[in-house]
Chain A
């Protein structure tokens, strides 16, 4: 009885901490922001959290807000998803072929070191601005996924691969029991980095390319009209979208990992 009560109390305590801690952290930084706003005392340079909240509530009730969000969301998430697939497939090919590996390694290194604006300007010369965010987020995320997945493939347990060779385990079964469980943690780590990168690079591309009806265009307008509240409100929206996509993708991958752990081969 005592034990179960203690356990229940502990569970409640841990549940409370889970909710309270992030709220306290958020509260702390909002407090710092508010104090900084009072200290700066110029709305043009730094608006208060309250002003941003007010502007956000004005924005979310308009249809234009949601169509803008959808415009950028669809393109950036598409870029990320395409990069996830292409990066993983590229890594699988590179692990199987030395030629592909030798050709891809300098390309990936070059993409990693090239400033994103160089790509943005190049893409604007080739494609119309409506595809810009997808192409840029794809280009920025592919090397991250490729490198991590290739690392994962190279860190597979060789002794288990020998088991599959000796027993003649069929390829699909080997993939689900040996390869994917080994590579998935590397892929998840890459996705965590890649999602943030997709949003940052995608929005930067929109700010430069100004596709009509995008979040990037709204940010640019905020700059032109010196509307700091708009700039902050749209930035909060971008952070929230990036966070939501990250949660969704990681939850789906965690589910896949759990399913494999439950013994998909049995």
Chain B
């Protein structure tokens, strides 16, 4: 079980999270919602170990392998789609597995051989998603993962995400309530935590 207890995070004078409590259900997908500036991405970064809380504790992260789709694609521009995905994998994973995964989210053979800087925004997004889903992680953070995908691609990719995240603790950060409902996820709404409401937002969900 991953749990946040009384977590406070400030950036300068701005308090982004204050006395925040949250329990993540093991093996389940939790959706985190809220307006801009409510601390959704900061929460994701705390769970990824990229930020430290100014106060409070986060338990259950030790030794847990993590993966993420960030708000930006964050790909190595000079590498191909396959190269970007293989970067985070054990050498023993065959390239054919990576290629199959990329094809399943709609990348054609031609786009597999190109450096990702030559791919479209939607194709790049799918590479970033496959990289997170294929990584051997026990905690997956998906921060607005479907941004930039057209409607058709989005539904196919969402189905793929649901399949690959099954049984793994996943946090979906989104603006879109319909996305959260589609996944049948427990929703944690950060709206009321803006301005440091000490009660845990998971109680609002």
Contacts and interface: CB of A to CB of B under 8 A. Distances in A.
A181 B76 contact: yes
Interface string A229-266: 00000000000000000000000000000001101111
A87 B74 CA distance: 30
B154 to A, nearest CB: 23
Nearest to B66: A166
B87 A169 contact: yes
Contact of A265 (B67, B68, B70, B79): B79
A263 B78 contact: yes
Given A159-B72, A177-B87, A266-B95, A167 B67 contact: yes
B49 A165 contact: yes
Interface string B61-77: 00001111010101010
Contacts of A162: 50, 70, 74
A159 B70 contact: yes
Please indicate which of the listed interface residues B48, B82, B88 has the most CB atoms of chain A within 10 Å of its own CB.
B88
A166 B50 contact: yes
A173 interface: yes
B80 interface: yes
A259 B87 CA distance: 16
A177 B135 CA distance: 17
Interface band, chain B:
20 to 34
Interface string A157-183: 001101101111100010001100100
B115 interface: yes
Nearest to A266: B83
Nearest to B116: A263
Contacts of A263: 78-80, 82-83, 115
Nearest to B139: A166
Contact of A166 (B68, B72, B79, B82): B68
A261 B74 contact: no
Contacts of A181: 76, 78
Interface in B28-68: 48-50, 65-68
A266 B49 contact: no
Give the most central of A160, A167, A173: most B CB within 10 Å: A167
Contacts of A167: 66-68, 87-88, 131, 135, 137
B86 interface: yes
Contacts of B137: 167
Interface in B90-143: 95, 115, 131, 135, 137
Interface of A: 159-160, 162-163, 165-169, 173, 177-178, 181, 260-261, 263-266
16 contacts: A159-B74, A162-B74, A163-B88, A166-B49, A167-B135, A167-B137, A169-B87, A169-B88, A177-B79, A181-B78, A263-B79, A263-B82, A263-B115, A265-B83, A265-B84, A266-B95
